[in-house]
Amino acid sequence: MSEEAAFNEAIAIQNKSPFVLVDVTAKYGNEHVALAGVTCQFEHGTSSALVGANGSGKTTLLRLLCGLAQPSEGRISPDPSEKTVALVAQQHGQRAWMPLTVSNVLRMSRFRDRGLVKRFRPIDRIIIDDAAERLEVSDLGNRQFGELSGGQRQRVMVAQALAHEADVLLMDEPITGLDMPSQETILRIIDEERRRGRIVVVSTHHMDEAELCDQVILLSNRIVASGSPGAVLTNKNLQEAFGLRMAHGDEDDCVFHGEHDGHADGVIHVFSDHGHGHDHGAKPKTRH
Ligand SMILES: Nc1ncnc2c1ncn2[C@@H]1O[C@H](COP(=O)(O)OP(=O)(O)OP(=O)(O)O)[C@@H](O)[C@H]1O
Ligand SMILES: [Mg+2]
């Protein structure tokens, strides 16, 4: 895309209304409250990080934003059906069942515009190639998706989401299980998509990823704190969100000092990456 086209697109999207959640409660079944009393806002042209312990409601909030879950109380405005939303789901290290090549997986991103039986336009091919290039998966086109490594699959899924050209890009733990260069690619893409005027929301256990976002929402089945990374990622807030686990370090732990305004003495725990898939059971790890 030319700079001028990107600028025009950013202006067009920026004029769109933000997502606003007012006093939203989300339940699974009649009993299990995953999120309660959530009030927050997601502006176009900004990135937000959802941070919290396992089970704190990060995935549930993303599901609400793409309409896969409905609030049992409160409201989301506009309704997610009024925006185009792309979600990169949380990976669990499972083998993918899809008997498809990577090219086919990427082509699926354009079905929304073209319909299942219509031919692809040249522009569809350009958009797919551009997304594949940005995620460095162009050379995987002929490979079976199910035979890729977890990190390769994750990059293909992000490329698929980009090619969707949605107003809203949601990514559930997008850098978990990725090698360092791939993590950097995803972080760059979060920034680029935000600059293009999209709403970008990621869930993460990586504090360095959260710090790069415009807004951090710290969850513990409710909002513990929200705002700029410096204001939210304080030792006090993190202890409130993560509980006693944050108060007890071990010799693997180290301390992250003074990169945030207003909490130069803060201690931030970074969850180490334990390979592909989920961070369940991951031991909190902090760093200097
Ligand atoms: N399909 C479901 N049925 C019942 N309860 C669910 C379901 N999905 C999630 N929950 C519960 O809702 C709460 C929030 O879960 P959620 O998946 O949103 O957490 P999370 O912050 O994404 O956790 P993680 O870091 O492990 O991915 C948890 O208590 C979880 O057990
Ligand atoms: Mg989750």
> Which ligand is closest in space to the CA of residue 172?
2
Residue whose CA lies nearest to ligand 1 atom number 25: 54
pLDDT at 262 > cutoff 60: no
Atom of ligand 1 nearest to the CA of 90: 27
> Which ligand is closest in space to the CA of residue 30?
1
Q: Which of 42, 38, 159 is nearest to 109 (CA)?
A: 159
Atom of ligand 1 nearest to the CA of 219: 21
Confidence (pLDDT) at 249? 42
> Which of the four pLDDT bands, split at 50, 70 and 90, describes residue 117?
low
Choice between 27 and 90, residue whose per-residue pLDDT is larger = 27
Atom of ligand 1 nearest to the CA of 57: 18
Confidence (pLDDT) at 91? 78
Residue whose CA lies nearest to ligand 1 atom number 12: 34
Write down the mean pLDDT value for the chain: 81
Q: What is the pLDDT of residues 34-80, one digit of tens each?
A: 999 999 999 999 999 999 999 999 999 999 999 999 999 999 999 99
Q: Best mutation site among 33, 59, 205 for ligand 1, i.e. most ligand atoms within 8 A of its Cβ? A: 59
In the chain, % of residues over pLDDT 90: 59
pLDDT at 163 > cutoff 50: yes
> Which of the four pLDDT bands, split at 50, 70 and 90, describes residue 257?
very low
CB-based contact 152:98 (threshold 8 Å): no
- Tokens (6 digits) for 249: 């370090």
Q: What is the pLDDT of residues 180-209, one digit of tens each?
A: 998 999 999 999 999 999 999 999 999 999
The pocket around ligand 1, CB under 6 angstroms, is made up of: 28, 32, 34, 52, 54-60, 90, 280
Confidence (pLDDT) at 225? 97
Mean pLDDT, rounded, for 5-16: 67
CA of 91 to the centre of ligand 1 (A): 14
DSSP secondary structure of 36-99 = EEEEEEE-TTEEEEEEESTTSSHHHHHHHHTTSS--SEEEEES-GGGS-EEEEPPP-SPPP---
Q: What is the pLDDT of residues 133-150, one digit of tens each?
A: 999 999 999 999 988 988
CA of 61 to the centre of ligand 1 (A): 10
Give me the CATH topology for the region 3-233: Rossmann fold (3.40.50)
CA of 144 to the centre of ligand 2 (A): 27
